[in-house]
């Protein structure tokens, strides 16, 4: 405990003495964490949106204009007997046209140019929870699409899966970039701490001569890197919070439209803690790398 207290006291003093060069290390860590934080914030909001879409997944069965009432009854019977449906709704051609005009008011004039209603009638089916996990939905879709009177079947899960895959790709690319920036930040911390180590060369030699433990020799430099990482992480969190607040204030309408009526949310507490711990780890790693030979050959 005494070694820990001594390390942080000396590390803080060294950080203050070299505050000019330490600012570059803090800034490097903050920039790396801002990149990672922006990625996590956007993917976290996108995952919440995807989760809401997934829980409300449905598929639409589009009917031909020539579909008879008997054929429609057979289609609805197949849906009801599958055990997949949590509810269904028949949408006539007229209702489909009305929906289009209401939801896409700026494009409503396009529908006026047709002599006949171009929108097909459909049966919209809400998928029950857990039904997609055992493959029953896929089996029903394959069955329904072959029934007489069916023109096409659109299943939300297909494009939701593609969106999820794209999200994973973006996350992986972002993590790779953040990792590179984190490595650069660790090198910067190591360089700054190394300068402090060289400045204390005579002091370290004296500590070696009197037999000081390695924890007292190397500890302050690790603590200095730890503090640099912690300060950089806190600055990154503050910047992300301010950016999120400004984004909601300036582009709130656009963001709500993008995220299905929800404002852009800040990082969950768990992810914020991970960012702070990550910054401290990067700083500590850089400090340890710089002080690794301290106590044996500081040069």
List Cα–Cα distances, 201 to 82, 195, 241, in angstroms.
Answer: 78, 10, 41
Rounded Cα distance between 171 and 230, Å, is 24
pLDDT value, residue 149: 92
Q: What 3-state DSSP class applies to 197?
A: helix
Other C-beta atoms within 10 Å of 143: how many? 15
pLDDT value, residue 52: 67
Instruction: Using alpha carbons, select from 90, 82, 88, 86 the residue that is nearest to residue 137.
Output: 82
- The tens digit of pLDDT for each residue in 3-54 reads 778 778 887 888 888 788 788 888 988 988 898 888 888 888 887 777 666 6
Question: Does the pLDDT value for residue 299 go beyond 60?
Answer: no
Higher-confidence residue of 271 and 209: namely 271
Beta pairing class for 58-63 and 150-155 = antiparallel
pLDDT value, residue 222: 85
**What is the residue-averaged pLDDT of the chain?**
79
Question: Does the pLDDT value for residue 226 go beyond 80?
Answer: yes
- The tens digit of pLDDT for each residue in 92-120 reads 988 888 887 777 666 656 656 566 778 88
What is the reported pTM?
Answer: 0.63
């Amino acid at each position: 405990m005494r070694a820990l207290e001594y390390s942080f006291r000396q590390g803080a003093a060294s950080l203050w003495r070299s505050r000019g060069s330490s600012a570059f290390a803090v800034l490097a860590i903050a920039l790396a964490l801002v990149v990672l934080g922006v990625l996590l914030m956007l993917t976290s909001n996108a995952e919440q949106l995807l989760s809401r879409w997934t829980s409300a997944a449905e598929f639409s069965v589009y009917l031909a204009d020539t579909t008879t009432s008997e054929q429609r009854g057979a289609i609805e019977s197949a849906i009801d007997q599958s055990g997949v449906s949590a509810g269904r709704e028949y949408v006539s051609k007229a209702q489909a046209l009305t929906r289009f005009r209401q939801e896409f008011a700026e494009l409503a004039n396009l529908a006026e140019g047709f002599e006949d209603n171009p929108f097909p009638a459909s049966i919209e089916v809400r998928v029950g929870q857990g039904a997609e996990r055992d493959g029953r939905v896929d089996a029903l879709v394959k069955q329904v699409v072959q029934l007489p009177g069916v023109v096409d079947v659109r299943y939300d899960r297909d494009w939701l899966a593609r969106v999820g895959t794209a999200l994973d790709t973006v996350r992986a690319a972002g993590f790779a970039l953040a990792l590179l920036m984190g490595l650069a930040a660790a090198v910067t911390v190591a360089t700054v701490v190394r300068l402090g180590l060289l400045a204390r060369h005579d002091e370290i030699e004296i500590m070696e001569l009197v037999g000081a433990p390695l924890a007292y020799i190397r500890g302050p430099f690790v603590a200095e890197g730890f503090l640099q990482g912690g300060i950089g992480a806190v600055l990154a969190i503050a910047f992300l919070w301010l950016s999120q607040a400004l984004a909601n204030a300036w582009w709130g309408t656009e963001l709500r439209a993008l995220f299905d009526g929800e404002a852009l949310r800040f990082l969950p507490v768990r992810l914020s803690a991970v960012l702070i711990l990550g910054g401290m780890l990067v700083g500590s790693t850089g400090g340890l790398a710089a002080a690794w030979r301290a106590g044996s050959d500081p040069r």
